[in-house]
């Protein structure tokens, strides 16, 4: 069931996920489209999330934005970073001044993550929550998987020390799985939908921002799923639901994003993940398991949660016949 309406206010509004936003020309949503989008959200009882641009909006826009409950996503370079609920850092900046109560998305490629692990893990004690998004996860090699394992181990040791010291930092890659009892994926196209400046709906911002000529073998990537004028029209909506994802519905890497845009890009199917996405998510799952056990050596921790069970695979595709 739809729960969230994401409104991409401008073509240049930051990415906060795996996709790259290469748009440099401003294209602000019209005030009428914005108002209609908000009305749509109200009628459908959706929680609204605005993705703000890196420039000041005209006053009349800000009044309209504030006319309804919402959350704000802005890049660290946006004039709205100080009032955003989620601040996005595009790339690593060791001099960035984090807010101890802030929630951040750090978008980095694997190379930066691997090379700057010891700097990045220090952020865990400088903010309330850090979401690390690896922007080239589909390019992981077997050697990268090994490196990622040791990166997660370094983050785990830092988290364990902080938890033992009475702090409760959150890192999406490790602490989410410890807290979850069921899937908590992105669910674009199922739980959320995006309204773009052109007045059309898209499964997520990535499907709007795809270059006009991008084609992964299925025709154009930039495909809308309806508009404010004609209504929402998602073809085969069941394909975006967990119940119709044969691998994911049996999986317990609950923290996995299950990114349908990455799925489409890598396997041509929105409900079929790539090997890389699954292995990365399982390395995180297994590291979360080890972290939970390590923290529990120091005392009672999350007593209501069962241990995360040991499994023998990293890609559910390998055990699909057993399910
Ligand atoms: S790890 Fe793979 S199978 Fe499991 S939820 Fe993520 S994408 Fe789906």
The predicted pLDDT at position 223 comes to: 83
Task: Give the pLDDT confidence of 219-229 residue by residue, as tens digits.
Answer: 566 789 999 99
Closest CA to 105 of 258, 96, 114: 96
Q: Express as a percent the part of the chain with pLDDT over 90.
A: 94
The predicted pLDDT at position 321 comes to: 81
Residue nearest to atom 3 of ligand 1 (CA): 248
Our measurement of the distance from residue 102's CA atom to the centroid of its chain's CA atoms, rounded to an integer in Å, reads 17
Task: Give the pLDDT confidence of 97-150 residue by residue, as tens digits.
Answer: 999 999 999 999 999 999 999 999 999 999 999 999 999 999 999 999 999 999
Q: Which of 277, 314, 319, 320 to mutate to test the pocket of ligand 1 (most atoms within 8 A of CB)?
A: 277
Show the beta-strand stretches assigned E in 248-305: none
Angle 28-30-31 from CA coordinates, rounded to 5° = 120
Mean pLDDT, rounded, of the chain: 95
Distance 321 CA to ligand 1 centre (A): 16
Average of pLDDT values for 160-184?
Answer: 96
The predicted pLDDT at position 160 comes to: 97
Average of pLDDT values for 219-245?
Answer: 90
Give the strand pairing for 129-134 and 103-108.
parallel
Under a CB-based contact definition with an 8 Å cutoff, are residues 49 and 88 in contact?
A: no
Return d(Cα 75, Cα 104) in angstroms, integer: 9
Average of pLDDT values for 77-92?
Answer: 98
Residue whose token pair is 């079929």 = 272
**Rounded to two decimals, what is the model's pTM?**
0.95
Angle 268-270-273 from CA coordinates, rounded to 5° = 80
The predicted pLDDT at position 229 comes to: 96
- Tell whether the model's pLDDT for residue 76 goes beyond 60: yes
The predicted pLDDT at position 251 comes to: 96
The predicted pLDDT at position 213 comes to: 63
């Amino acid at each position: 069931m739809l729960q969230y309406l994401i409104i991409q206010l401008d073509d240049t509004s930051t990415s906060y996920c795996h996709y790259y936003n290469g748009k440099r020309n401003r294209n602000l949503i019209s005030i009428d489209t914005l108002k209609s989008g908000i009305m749509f959200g109200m009628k459908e009882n959706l929680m609204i999330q605005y993705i703000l641009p890196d420039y000041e909006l005209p006053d009349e826009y800000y009044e309209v934005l504030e006319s309804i409950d919402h959350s704000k996503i802005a890049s660290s370079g946006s004039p709205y970073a100080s009032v955003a609920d989620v601040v996005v850092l595009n790339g690593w900046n060791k001099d960035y001044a984090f807010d101890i109560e802030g929630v951040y998305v750090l978008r980095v490629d694997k190379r930066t993550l691997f090379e700057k692990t010891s700097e990045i893990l220090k952020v865990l004690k400088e903010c309330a929550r850090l979401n690390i998004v690896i922007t080239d996860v589909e390019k992981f090699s077997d050697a990268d998987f090994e490196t990622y394992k040791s990166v997660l181990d370094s983050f785990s040791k830092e988290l364990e020390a902080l938890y033992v010291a009475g702090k409760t930092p959150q890192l999406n890659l490790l602490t989410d799985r410890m807290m979850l009892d069921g899937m908590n994926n992105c669910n674009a196209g199922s739980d959320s939908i995006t309204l773009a400046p052109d007045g059309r709906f898209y499964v997520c911002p990535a499907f709007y921002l795809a270059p006009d000529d991008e084609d992964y073998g299925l025709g154009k990537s930039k495909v809308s799923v309806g508009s404010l004028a004609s209504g929402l029209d998602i073809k085969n909506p069941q394909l975006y639901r967990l119940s119709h994802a044969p691998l994911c519905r049996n999986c317990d890497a609950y923290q996995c994003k299950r990114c349908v845009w990455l799925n489409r890009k890598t396997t041509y199917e929105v409900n079929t993940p790539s090997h890389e996405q699954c292995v990365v998510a399982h390395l995180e799952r297994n590291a979360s398991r080890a972290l939970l056990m390590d923290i529990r050596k120091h005392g009672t921790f999350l007593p209501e949660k069962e241990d995360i069970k040991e499994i023998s695979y990293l890609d559910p595709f390998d055990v699909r016949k057993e399910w």
